[in-house]
């Protein structure tokens, strides 16, 4: 090596990437993130696996402007949207009226609550425990409600983006979000009563 | 306003917000309906916990993590992908100057091609699954950073 050559850089840490250590370093975190948004263990595992494979074959696109971890999470977030889009298209033949509508059992025909469904909201529960219950209840919602809820509330996508991705109208999105929130509150309150 | 309409306003408030007029009408209803009030409180509490735990660090830090079987399966798949993409052939001379990652990979492949046991399919990432995914994968990863 001549005196004017740049300092040596080990290949395994080029641009700070160490793919051989990804599962060990980030596997749990990526999986936890995925399972909090997707329906099942299998789907979450597949999203994490696709993330690693995508990252490996796209190493050239990593510019080193973010950490390895941030880069992997950004890929995973796209994978999650892909999974939801695919799931949505598979079930695209179902209309809004095919889905479970929590209004029908929560409310009487005259628009009043059938009864008080909810435990007192000030009951003591740690945030961590409540988050676990929310995740569980999210998995119990109809897919087409859970999917829009994940995109809008957890992934914070704009309504316009979601309508475009899923090819639905803003009012359709609004109805599904409303039903998802109703179903979620009902489910969480039910679990809290037990 | 009935309870059903109030519930619609409560859920919409959390996503999009309400007009001044809608807020006032909702407040009046909540003052009269204890069930609507409890529903509003639960909805807000759920929203609060989601807003905290949806952050990447918080979501990633809470959960069961990988079970041992899944971990092994992912490690195996990752190694296969690395091998197919040529990552099992690092440059023989790590002192070679490297401007960026792409040129480094090119150098790595060139060095590998000079080896007697060079397997073009393996080193150039011609594994069918990887190749099939490559174009899409670069779309997924390319714009992010």
Per-residue pLDDT of chain A (194 residues; tens, 9 = 90+): 444 444 433 344 356 788 889 999 999 999 999 999 998 999 999 999 999 999 998 887 787 788 899 999 999 999 999 999 988 888 765 666 667 888 988 999 999 999 888 888 888 888 899 999 999 999 999 988 999 999 999 999 999 999 998 889 999 999 999 999 999 999 998 888 76
Complex ipTM value: 0.85
* pLDDT for A101: 87
Q: What angle do CA A26, A27, A29 make, to 5 degrees?
A: 65
Give the closest residue to B144 by CA, choosing from A59, A18, A161. A59
Euclidean distance between CA atoms B42 and A184, whole angstroms: 10
C-beta contacts of B54-57 below 8 A and 24+ residues apart: B54/A153, B54/A154, B54/A155, B54/A156, B56/A33, B56/A73
Q: How confident is the model at residue B140 (pLDDT cuts 50, 70, 90)?
A: low
CA distance B64 to chain A (A): 7
Q: Strand ranges (DSSP E) for chain B?
A: none
B66 to chain A: nearest residue by CA? A28
Task: Estimate to the nearest angstrom the gap between the alpha carbon of B88 and the chain centroid.
Answer: 26
Using the beta-carbon criterion (under 8 Å), do B134 and A33 form an inter-chain contact? no
Buried b (16+ CB within 10 A) or exposed e, A98-113: ebebbbeebbeeeeeb
What token pair was written down for B143? 């714009």
Q: How confident is the model at residue B110 (pLDDT cuts 50, 70, 90)?
A: very low
Interface membership of A171 toward B (CB under 8 Å): no
pLDDT (mean) for B67-90: 86
A-facing residues of B in 49-68 (CB < 8 A) are 49-50, 52-54, 56, 59-66
* pLDDT for A98: 64
Q: How confident is the model at residue B67 (pLDDT cuts 50, 70, 90)?
A: very high
Euclidean distance between CA atoms A168 and A89, whole angstroms: 11
Q: Which residue has the tokens 């809008």?
A: A152
Give the closest residue to A180 by CA, choosing from A140, A130, A133, A131. A140
Are B29 and A110 spatial neighbours (Cβ–Cβ below 8 Å)? no
CA distance A137 to chain B (A): 11
B-facing residues of A in 8-27 (CB < 8 A) are 8-12, 14-15, 17, 19-20, 22-23, 27
* pLDDT for B96: 33
* pLDDT for B13: 94
* pLDDT for A190: 86
Cα A81 to Cα A47, A90, A135, A165, B41: the distances in Å are 10, 14, 17, 9, 30
Residue A48, Cβ neighbours under 10 Å: how many?
30
């Amino acid at each position: 090596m001549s005196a004017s050559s740049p300092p040596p850089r080990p290949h395994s840490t080029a641009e700070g990437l160490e793919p051989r250590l990804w599962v060990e370093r980030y596997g749990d975190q990526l999986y936890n993130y995925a399972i909090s948004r997707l329906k099942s263990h299998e789907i979450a595992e597949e999203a994490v696996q696709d993330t690693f494979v995508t990252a490996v074959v796209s190493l050239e696109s990593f510019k080193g402007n973010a950490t390895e971890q941030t880069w992997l999470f950004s890929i995973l977030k796209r994978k999650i949207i892909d999974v939801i889009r695919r799931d949505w298209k598979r079930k695209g033949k179902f209309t809004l009226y095919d889905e479970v509508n929590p209004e029908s059992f929560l409310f009487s025909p005259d628009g009043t609550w059938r009864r008080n469904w909810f435990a007192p909201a000030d009951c003591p529960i740690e945030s961590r425990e409540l988050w676990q219950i929310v995740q569980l209840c999210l998995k119990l919602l109809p897919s087409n409600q859970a999917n829009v809820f994940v995109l809008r509330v957890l992934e914070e996508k704009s309504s316009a983006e979601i309508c475009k991705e899923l090819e639905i109208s803003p009012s359709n999105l609004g109805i599904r979000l409303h039903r998802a929130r109703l179903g979620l509150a009902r489910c969480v309150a039910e679990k809290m009563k037990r | 306003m009935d309870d059903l309409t109030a519930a619609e306003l409560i859920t919409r408030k959390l996503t999009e917000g309400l007009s001044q007029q809608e807020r006032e009408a909702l407040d009046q209803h909540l003052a009269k309906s204890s069930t609507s009030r409890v529903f509003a409180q639960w909805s807000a509490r759920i929203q609060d916990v989601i807003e905290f735990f949806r952050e990447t660090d918080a979501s990633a830090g809470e959960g069961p993590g990988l079970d041992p079987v899944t971990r092994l399966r992912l490690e195996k798949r990752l190694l296969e992908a690395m091998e197919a993409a040529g990552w099992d052939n690092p440059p023989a001379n790590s002192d070679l100057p490297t401007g960026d990652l792409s040129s480094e990979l090119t150098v790595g492949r060139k060095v590998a091609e000079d080896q007697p046991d060079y397997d073009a399919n393996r080193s150039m990432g011609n594994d069918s699954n990887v190749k099939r995914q490559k174009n899409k994968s670069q779309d997924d990863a390319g714009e992010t950073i």
